[in-house]
Structure 1
Amino acid sequence: MSLLCLHSVFSSPATILHSHSLVQTRPNTPRFVVLSTHSNAKILKTNRKSRYGQTLSLYDDDSEEEGEDDDDDDEGKEDDWLAEDDDFAEIEEYDVNGSKYRSQMGVNKSKSKGSRRSPVKGCGVGSFRSGRSLQVAQEQLDIRNRRNTIKNSFDDTYYNSKDVNQRGKVRTRNATENRYQRLSEEIELDEKWLPLLDYLSTFGLKESHFIQMYERHMPSLQINVCSARERLEYLLSVGVKQRDVRRILLRQPQILEYTVENNLESHVAFLISLGIPNSKIGQIIAATPSLFSYSVENSLKPTVRYLVEEVGINEKSLGKVVQLSPQVLVQRIDISWNTRCIFLSKELGAPRDDVVKMVTKHPQLLHYSIDDGLLPRINFLRSIGMRNSDILKVLRSLTQVLSLSLEDNLKPKYTYLINELHNEVQSLTKYPMYLSLSLDQRIRPRHRFLVSLKKAPKGPFPLSLFIPTDECFCQKWAGTTVDKYLAFRQKLLLKDFAKKHERRG
């Protein structure tokens, strides 16, 4: 029978020892301390049951003494298992797939005297009793180790093959540098540029072209080849011809730096918003690649508003104007418009509305030099007997007369008009189209063909015969087939070419 004693304690802090238990009292506080021959205090639990499910009394009888002693021994062993620090080293944490686990390192290694176990968060006694957490952690660690072993093996194979490939690339680069020997002599050639140079070479660019690109904009050769391919393929997809890529890069090498999302797409969308057909987008880009260097919101749209609000171009005609002269979008349109409008008004007395019509039909007018372009041609028309009103009438109908060469176009046509066609200069005001037609391909062949057939009208040759198509001309005036006329024209061209060659010789 266990002995149970109750003592009232009134004392200063004191420690009462019995068996393995330590009980410390508070100062000047009455305490009742349970003294027992048992080391386990669970005997105080009133709901304690035996291993057979029977409720145990706080005062055990003799019949249960043996069983109770067995229980105490078992539980004492459990407590001893947890208390024997010498048999287990400190518990350490490690991560497996993002979860924390604890493992015992250095089992059966004695600890130095006075050392303390590090606190472990979230580690319950039950987990160590069962040993399941440690087993799961160990299994997952083994799996992780196997994965790392496989990955390391794969990485070794990959890097070994990469080294082989890199050695192969070195040999290829040496061969490539030999191909760009002139370029490497002219500039400091970085081997990182070689893939881009090889790709651009597929568009017909040569070493001399790369030197031009380097001098115009060196960073364009530093672009990653994948980025350059993406951007050029986008331009090809919107209608740019492959043969035009070389010219675009020579004029605007910066285009390799413009991203598809932030630049190219927005500019193409802007052109489409003006009413330009998709089939013409590529031509406009090829004619004015510098378009992409201008901000859509801060430059291009304000230019369009100026053309509509200040110049007076009809908004529906904007697409046609841009197709005829894409440069109108990248020029200081306010200066060019004002200077030419004032010049034509003073020189010919042209009303503003007439100048607007000229610009709408031929927007290139805004790019022509006044001193070297407009004024010399106006003076030529004056020299052949035209008055300012006649010149203005011709320009309203055919503004591109101001772009024609004086020596190779206007003067030879005027001479043929007077000497061969026996016509007067005033006929040009009625048929200004005559000045835009080819002398070798249209005017001379038709006139000579009718003369050879003896079907040429008497008197001044009508300029209206040069305007219809070849089919209409042959059917209505020549009375023959188109093939016969084309054969005659070909022989005439060969004779004229032979005469010109003899003169040069």
Structure 2
Amino acid sequence: MPSLSLSTLTHSLSHPLSTTMPPAAGAIALHSSLCTISSDKPSSPLRSPSIHVSPKPKSLLQNHPLYTPTHTKLSLEFKEKILCLEVMGVDAGKALSQNPDLRTATMESIHSIISFLLSKGLQEKDLPRIFGMCPKILTSDIKTDLNPVFDFILSELKVPENSFRRVVNKCPRLLTSSVKDQLRPCLVYLRRLGFKDLGALAYQDSVLLVSNVENTLIPKLKFLETLGLSKDEVRSMVLRCPALLTFSIENNFQPKYEFFAGEMGRKLEELKEFPQYFAFSLENRIKPRHMEVVQSGIALALPVMLKSTDEEFRELVKQGGG
């Protein structure tokens, strides 16, 4: 296997190393790699008792293609860090690019983060996806960043500890969000809007909690009002279809409404009754099905036209709309 120049990664921070070493299939490899890297610092009290830290073998990297004697300016720990990220299944280049603080993070601190997350019920197999999506977690402060989030999930979302894993896997960004500045204000706003089911917010719509109230949620509600909907009607629509609060105004609401009101010539009342319209692909679902309906000369209610399977839709067209 040809050697990959480590400077390519460290200078550009964009070249994935997976072509040199495939991601580990599970966390046995994760911990075997991390836990064979020792530190001069004392072991963290947060470290799980089941995790064994053994002396660092000199051959950890020296026989690996990533390790080249020409890159003497890079510390061994930095090289170990890159290799361990890749062993975890995390694209090291992407992670370092998105979170430059990883350059100076110690293996000890990264190990403590992993041990802390495992103590909260996450499983080793969850970590590659979580760190891949949010590499900032790897340099978070356990006391000031992570613990408050888990306290919020427990005390304010009323999620039992044995369900932490489900919530975090649904929305890893929760772990990079400030409780004071982001999560709590958003929860308060959503509850005022009418979201009463904390379970639904925690397990299904948790992405709403990491949205910005002033810059993301409110502008979407106001745009829907410009279509001729009242505040109560908009509120009713988002409560029935919370995903509306995740859609882009420019890339979703505007083009889909223009097609709805223009080409389709449908009435606003139908959107009130079926806000899920905005969840369907304009190019792959809405347009082609509308064209078939027009060409067939039949009339189909909006939900029937869009929710039916391809087979059901063809049968409806064949039968003239039923």
Common topology (TM > 0.5): yes
Structure 1 segment 276-291 matched on structure 2, within 5 A: 276=122, 278-291=124-137
Alpha-carbon separation, structure 2, partners of 1:246 and 1:287: 13
* Match in the other structure for 1:199: 6
Alpha-carbon separation, structure 1, partners of 2:307 and 2:177: 35
> Cα distance, 1:285 vs. partner?
0.9
Task: Pick the aligned partner of 1:402 from 242, 245, 254.
Answer: 245
Q: How many residues align?
A: 258
- Unaligned runs of 5+ residues in structure 2 are 16-70, 317-322
Structure 1 segment 190-269 matched on structure 2, within 5 A: 198-201=5-8, 203=9, 205-206=11-12, 224-240=74-90, 244-260=91-107, 262-269=108-115
Note if contact 1:258-1:264 (Cα within 8 Å) is conserved in structure 2: yes
Q: Relative contact order (C-alpha < 8 Å, sep 6+): which is higher? A: 2
Aligned letter for 1:232?
I
Note if contact 1:382-1:388 (Cα within 8 Å) is conserved in structure 2: yes
Note if contact 1:398-1:433 (Cα within 8 Å) is conserved in structure 2: yes
Note if contact 1:422-1:461 (Cα within 8 Å) is conserved in structure 2: no
Task: Pick the aligned partner of 2:312 from 436, 460, 476.
Answer: 476
Please state whether the residue corresponding to 1:414 is helix, strand or coil: helix
* Match in the other structure for 1:445: 288
Q: Deviations over 1:444-482 (max 9, x none)?
A: 122224444x2x642x543233235xxx31x222159xx
Compared CA separation, residues 341 and 267, structure 1 to 2 (3 A): closer
Please state whether the residue corresponding to 1:258 is helix, strand or coil: coil
Please state whether the residue corresponding to 1:250 is helix, strand or coil: helix
Larger Rg: 1
Alpha-carbon separation, structure 2, partners of 1:233 and 1:207: 14
Give the TM-score taking structure 2 as reference length: 0.66
Compared CA separation, residues 273 and 420, structure 1 to 2 (3 A): farther
Alpha-carbon separation, structure 2, partners of 1:199 and 1:418: 55
Structure 1 segment 370-449 matched on structure 2, within 5 A: 370-449=213-292
Please state whether the residue corresponding to 1:311 is helix, strand or coil: coil
Give the TM-score taking structure 1 as reference length: 0.44
Please, which moves more after superposition, 378-387 or 300-309? 378-387
Aligned letter for 2:98?
R
Please state whether the residue corresponding to 2:239 is helix, strand or coil: helix
* Match in the other structure for 1:310: 156
* Identity among equivalent pairs (%): 22
Q: Deviations over 1:35-72 (max 9, x none)?
A: xxxxxxxxxxxxxxxxxxxxxxxxxxxxxxxxxxxxxx
Alpha-carbon separation, structure 2, partners of 1:286 and 1:318: 19
Please state whether the residue corresponding to 1:423 is helix, strand or coil: coil
> Cα distance, 1:440 vs. partner?
1.3
Task: Pick the aligned partner of 1:465 from 302, 305, 308.
Answer: 305
Alpha-carbon separation, structure 1, partners of 2:270 and 2:162: 34
Q: Deviations over 1:234-283 (max 9, x none)?
A: 2222221xxx32221122233244344x2333323444455556554222
Compared CA separation, residues 338 and 425, structure 1 to 2 (3 A): same
Please state whether the residue corresponding to 1:312 is helix, strand or coil: coil
Q: Deviations over 1:386-441 (max 9, x none)?
A: 34443333323432322322222102212222333343334334433321222112
Select the structure that is richer in strand.
Answer: 1
The two structures, once aligned, show a CA RMSD in angstroms of 3.5
Compared CA separation, residues 239 and 290, structure 1 to 2 (3 A): same
* Match in the other structure for 2:183: 337
- Unaligned runs of 5+ residues in structure 1 are 1-196, 210-220, 481-505
Structure 1 segment 76-155 matched on structure 2, within 5 A: none
Compared CA separation, residues 478 and 198, structure 1 to 2 (3 A): same
> Cα distance, 1:291 vs. partner?
1.0
Alpha-carbon separation, structure 1, partners of 2:73 and 2:240: 49
